[in-house]
Amino acid sequence: MSQLKKPGLLQGNRPILRAFAIFTLSIAVFFIILMSHVLDKYFVYPFTVLVVKTTSVILDTVGYDTSVKGTVLKTPDASLNIGTGCNGLEAVIIFVSAILAFPANLKNKLVGLLLGFLGIYIINQTRVIGLFFVNSYASEHLELAHTYIGQTYVIISGVILWIVWAERFSRDGKKAVNPAA
């Protein structure tokens, strides 16, 4: 009777370990770059201002009188500062790292990066607009809305975006097959 030899932990899980290593390394590199402030002047700050200006345009379109000064959104009754942590870049870093770690071809990764960036930008934009309304009409709940509800919303939405993308694309560009089905 022949005895089947089971592969070791590393050998049998090499693709998962590779994806985990790429994901972890990518997040570490991106966050080190972000936290080093080397990109603040030419990318992070202008991107944050873009988030604030986009919010202002949307709110002005629906009848609010807003103005922008740097990263601060102002109305006659309230103001809201959009800090570096509220611009959505951290969610983008996590999403990009997940895309890079996933075994898909370059074309599908590029599609995922582009659509994911746009998706997270829109998701974060709805969060900022929601925070504007909370700040304007129930400011006593701003900390709760900002710290817990808003961040949870962006994280869960980003994970859902990634799952949708990952289910759509496999390494060869075909629709991914669910092995459990």
Asked if residue 147 belongs to a domain, the reply is: yes
Asked if residue 176 belongs to a domain, the reply is: no
Handedness of CA 47, 49, 55, 61 (dihedral sign): negative
Asked if residue 5 belongs to a domain, the reply is: no
Asked if residue 109 belongs to a domain, the reply is: yes
Asked if residue 30 belongs to a domain, the reply is: yes
Asked if residue 8 belongs to a domain, the reply is: no
pLDDT (tens place) for every residue of the chain, 181 residues total: 556 656 666 677 888 999 999 999 999 999 999 999 999 999 999 999 999 999 999 999 999 999 999 999 999 999 999 998 899 999 999 999 999 999 999 999 999 999 999 999 999 999 999 999 999 999 999 999 999 999 999 999 999 999 999 998 865 445 544 444 4
pTM for this predicted structure = 0.84
Residue 20 lies in domain: 14-168
Asked if residue 181 belongs to a domain, the reply is: no
Which of 9-18's residues contact partners 24+ apart within 8 Å by CB, and which partners? 15/103, 18/101
The number of folded domains in the chain is 1
